[in-house]
Chain A
Amino acid sequence: MTTLGQLALWIALLVSAWGTFVGFYGGLTRRPELIESARRSTYAVAGVIAVASIGLLVAILNHDFNVAYVASYTSRDLPTVYLLSAFYGGQSGSMLFWALVLAIFGALAQLLSSRKYDHLLPYVAGTTQAVLLFFVATTLFAANPFERLPFTPADGQGLNPQLQNPGMVVHPPMLYLGYISITIPFAFAVAALMSKRLDTGWLHAIRKWTIVSWLFLSIGITLGMWWAYVELGWGGYWAWDPVENASFLPWLTMTAFLHSVMIQEKRGMLKKWNMVLITLSFFLSIFGTFITRSGIISSVHSFAQSSVGYYFLGGLAFLLVGMAWLLYTRLDMLESESHLESMVSREASFLFNNLILVGIAFSVFWGTMFPMISELVRGSQVTVGPPFFNQVNIPLGLALLGLTGIGPLIAWRKASVGNLRRQFAVPVISGGIAAAVLTAIGMGHFYAILTISLSVFVVATVLQEFVRGVGARHRLHGENLAQAFARLVGRNRRRYGGYIVHLGIVAYFVAFTGQAFKVDREASLLPGEQVEVESPFGHTLTFTHLGVSQYDQLNRLVSAATVEVAKDGERVGVIKSEKRQHFTCQAPVDPCPANLRQRSFEPSTEAGIRSDLLEDIYVVYAGSVEGTEEAVYRFTLNPLVWWLWFGGFVLVVGGVVTLWPGTTVRATPQGDTQGGYAAQLVESKSA
C-alpha cells in the first residue's frame, strides 16, 4: 500500500503542476478546453491524494513498522481512534493531511461556485493547484511519510500520551481546516487580480468560505485551549506559547478581513487593504503550519535540523514577491469609490477595528519572533513572555470590545446626534450602572471592571437590536413574538448571526477577566488531612485527601487521588485527579504481566475539574511520597472558565446561522443609513 501511496503522490505532483499551468494559461487565453482541464485537474488531484492518504492509513492500521512514520508515532496497543489521529500527529503525516484537505477544498470551490464566477474559476484552480504543488513537493522531497526503515522494529514508539486525549483528536484537524480553507478566499483574490475583474464579485463568491475558515480557526483554537486546560495540568488555557500564537495570528487578520470586506461591499472602499489582509492571512496560515512544525522559534539554530524549513522559506518568499507584483501592477484598478466622511460613522469604527486587530497581530508576531530577532541583531536571545503579551493586548482587546458594541449600530457615512442617542443611550447607561455596581461591591481591579462594563454595553446593544427587530415585525406584520423572532433572524442571517457571534466573543472576554482572580495553593496531604482555600467569591473551600488508588486501563497504569470538597463547611462532592503512566508490553498478552511492562514516555496528568458558572475547582495530583499515601496536590480556583466553553458554543451557533443556506433579503443601501433592521423595516414599509 505504501508503494501505491508513494506512486499516488508522484501522480499528484504531476497533476497539480499541470493544473497550475492550465489554470493560469487557460484563464489568460480563455480557451474552454484548457479551462475545463484545469477544473478537472482539481477533481483528479483530490482523488489521487485520497489514495495516498488511504495508503498511509492502511500502513498505520496494519502496524507496518517498517515504515518510519508508523514506527515513530504508533504502537500495537494504541487505541484505534489514536491510530487514526496519528495520521496527522507527526510532521510528514500532517503535510499529507494538509495536501488532502486542500485538494478537497480546491475541488469543492470548483464544484460549489456559481457559474457567474466563471471568469475567476480557472485562476482559482491554478492558485489552489500551485499551493498544492508546493505541499506535495515538500512532502515528497523533505518529509515523506512513506519512507521505510532498513529494518522492521517489533513495535512502534507509540503516540505521546499527552496527545492521547479526545481534544487532541479533533483540535489539530479543526485548526488545519481553518488554516487550509483560507487558501480559497486567497485564490479568489488572486483570480480577481489576474482577471482584472475587481468589482465586488469575488467578495460575494468567498463570503461563506471566509466565514467557514474563520469558524474552523475559532473552534480549533478553543479546542486547543480546552486540551491545554484539562491535559497539561498547569491550571490555565493560554500561555502565549509560540504555537498558540501561530494559530491566533491568522485568526486576527481573518477577523479584520471579515469586517473590512463589508466596507468594500457597501461603500467601495478599502480595496487595496482587503487584498493585503487576505494575503497576510494566507501567509500567516502557511507560516503557522511552518513554525508549528519546524521549531524555528526556539532558536534560529534549530532551523537547519529539517530541510522542510527551506522549502517553507522559499514558498513564503515567492508568495510575498508574487502578490506584491500583482498588486503593484493593478494599483490603479483598486482606487476607492468613496471617501470617509466622518469619524463618527460605521466606516470609521470598522477602520479602527481593523487597525487594532492588525496592531494586536503585529505585537503578537513581534513578541513571538523576538527571541529570534534579538539573537540575530544583538547576538543573545531575549525572550518575552505572558507579561508582555498581556500588557500590550489587554488595552487593545478592550478597545476592540468597545467597538464590538459600536460598529454594528452606528450609522454609515455620518451618524447624527439622534442616531447616537437612539442606538447607544440604553447600552451606555447599562454599562455605566454595571461599572458603578462592581465598584460599589469592592471589585478593586480596573481592567476587570472595565471588561465587565464593556461586556454589559455590548450585550445591551445586541439585545436592543433583537428586541427592536422583533417588536417592529410584530407591529408591522402582525406576527406573534416567536414567529417574528424566527423570521427576523431567518431573513437577515448574516446580520443576526454576526450579533450572536459577538455575544460569544463577549463570553470569552468575561472568561478572560476571571484569570485576574485566580487562586493557587499547593499542599502535601496524608489521608484524612485537609487544607482550606479562600475563593475569590468569598467562600471557603476545604479539601480533604481521601486516598490514592491504582488500576490498569487500556495501555496505561493509572494512579488516582481523590479529595472531598466542602464549601463553607457543606460537602460538595469528591474530585478525582489522575497521574497516568503509559507502558508498552513486551509480549502480546492481555492483561500484560508486571514483569513484561516497559514504561514509555513520562507520566501524564489528568486534572480533576468541577465546573460551575462562577468558578472551576481544579485539582492536580502531582504524585505521592514514595511508598506512602501522602499525596502532593495543587488546588486552583479558576473563576469564570465555564464562560470560555460557553462562548465557543455561542460562536458556533452564530456562525451556523450566518452560513445557513438560503437567500437573505438584501437591505437597500439607503435603508440602512441611520438605524438597525427596525428602521429599515419601517422605511421599506412606508416606501
Chain B
Amino acid sequence: MWGVYYGMQAKYKFLFGAVLVGGTVGFLMTSGIKETGVYFLTPSELAAKVEADPSFRDVGVKMGARVVHGSIERDVGTQTVTFEVTDGVQTYPVVYRGLAPDTFTDDVDVVVEGRLEPDGTFRATSLLAKCGSRYETTPEA
C-alpha cells in the first residue's frame, strides 16, 4: 500500500492526507457524541421516558427546570443542598452535594445533571443556575 502511496502525485497524496484528517475528525466526533452525549430533558419528558422504559433511570441525564419557591434546604455541615424543581407539570426532589453557584436561589432556572433514584429523587452531580428572567442574556459579551 505504501508503495502505491509513494508513487502518487503530491496532489493525490494530499487528498489522501485530507481524507485521513477528515476521517479522524469525523471519528472523534461521532465517538465523542456517543460516549459523552447526555439527554437534556424537562421533568415531564424525564417522567415520560422513565415510564416508557424503566431502564432509562440508569442513564445519566440533564434536567432543565425551575426551582420551587421556598424548597431550598442547605446543610452546610455536609455541604448538601436539597430542593425541588418543576416545569409546572412534573416536580422532582433534587439532592446535590457540593457548592451551589451564587446565582442559585428560589425561582431560578437550573440545569441539574445526574440520575433518577428508584425512590424518585434526582441525585445531581452538577448544578448550574441561570440568571433570573430579569436579564435577557447570559453574563457574557
Contacts and interface: CB of A to CB of B under 8 A. Distances in A.
Given A339-B11, A351-B14, A90 B137 contact: yes
Contacts of B22: 355, 359
Contact of B14 (A348, A362, A630): A348
Contacts of A626: 76
Nearest to B76: A625
B70 interface: no
A355 B21 contact: yes
Given A233-B102, A355-B18, A625-B76, A381 B141 contact: no
Contacts of B79: 522, 524, 632
Nearest to B98: A522
B137 A382 contact: no
Contacts of A293: 137
Contacts of B134: 157
Contacts of B98: 522
A220 B141 contact: yes
Contacts of B138: 243, 295
Interface string B2-41: 0000000011011001100110110011011101111111
Contacts of B77: 524, 625
A352 interface: yes
Contacts of B140: 224, 241, 243-244, 292
A464 interface: no
A622 B38 contact: no
Interface in A169-183: 171-172, 175-176
B90 interface: no
Nearest to A73: B135
B53 interface: no
Interface residues of B, number: 44
A524 B17 contact: no
A152 interface: no
A620 B99 contact: yes
B63 to A, nearest CB: 11
A395 B29 CA distance: 12
A603 B102 contact: yes
A577 B22 CA distance: 46
A166 interface: no
Given A243-B141, A387-B35, A392-B32, A604 B102 contact: yes
B28 A392 contact: yes
Interface string B45-68: 100000000000000001000000
B136 interface: yes
Given A383-B38, A524-B77, A603-B102, A391 B141 contact: no
A267 B106 CA distance: 63
Interface string A354-373: 01100100110011001100
B57 to A, nearest CB: 16
Given A90-B136, A157-B134, A160-B139, A381 B39 contact: yes
A417 to B, nearest CB: 15
Which of A224, A392, A605 has the most CB atoms of chain B within a 10 A radius of its CB? A392
B141 A171 contact: yes
Interface size class of A (residues with CB under 8 A): 35 or more
A341 interface: yes
A391 B28 contact: yes
A388 B32 contact: yes
A149 interface: no
B29 A176 contact: no
Contacts of B33: 367, 370, 382, 384, 388
A391 B32 contact: yes
Given A355-B18, A391-B36, A632 B99 contact: yes
A348 B14 CA distance: 7
B10 A339 contact: yes
A21 B102 CA distance: 51
Contact of A522 (B25, B45, B99, B105): B99
Interface in A64-117: 90-91, 94
Contacts of A384: 32-33, 36-38
B141 A172 contact: yes
Interface in A629-654: 630, 632, 634
B102 A91 contact: no
A228 to B, nearest CB: 9
B76 A292 contact: no
A300 interface: no
A625 B140 CA distance: 31
Nearest to A604: B102
Contact of A370 (B37, B101, B104, B131): B37
A622 B141 contact: no
Contact of B139 (A162, A175, A380, A634): A162
Contacts of A163: 139
A380 B45 contact: yes
Given A381-B41, A605-B102, A634-B99, A388 B25 contact: no
Contact of A247 (B40, B136, B141): B141
A623 interface: yes
Nearest to A242: B138
Contacts of B28: 363, 391-392, 395-396
A387 B32 contact: yes
A602 interface: yes
Interface string B116-134: 0000000000000001101
A44 interface: no
Contacts of B71: none
Interface string B91-111: 000000011011111000000
Contacts of B135: 160
A473 B29 CA distance: 49
Contact of B29 (A233, A306, A363): A363
Given A160-B135, A163-B139, A632-B99, A352 B21 contact: yes
A340 interface: yes
Given A340-B11, A342-B10, A391 B35 contact: yes
Given A292-B140, A602-B102, A363 B36 contact: no
A622 B17 CA distance: 51
Nearest to A173: B141
Instruction: Report which residue of B33, B39, B134 has the largest number of chain A beta carbons within 10 angstroms of its beta carbon.
Output: B33
Nearest to B49: A380
B45 A602 contact: no
B13 A632 contact: no
A187 B136 CA distance: 32
6 contacts: A380-B40, A382-B37, A382-B39, A391-B31, A524-B76, A625-B76
Interface of B: 10-11, 13-14, 17-18, 21-22, 24-25, 28-29, 31-33, 35-41, 45, 62, 76-77, 79, 98-99, 101-105, 131-132, 134-141
Given A243-B141, A341-B10, 11 more contacts: A224-B141, A233-B102, A306-B136, A343-B14, A355-B22, A363-B32, A370-B37, A382-B40, A387-B35, A388-B36, A602-B132
Interface of A: 90-91, 94, 157, 160, 162-163, 171-172, 175-176, 220, 224, 233-234, 241, 243-244, 247, 292-293, 295, 306, 339-343, 348, 351-352, 355-356, 359, 362-363, 366-367, 370-371, 380-385, 387-388, 391-392, 395-396, 522, 524, 579, 602-605, 620, 622-626, 630, 632, 634
The 6 A-B pairs with the shortest beta carbon distances in the complex, nearest first, are: A172-B141, A381-B40, A359-B25, A387-B36, A243-B140, A388-B32
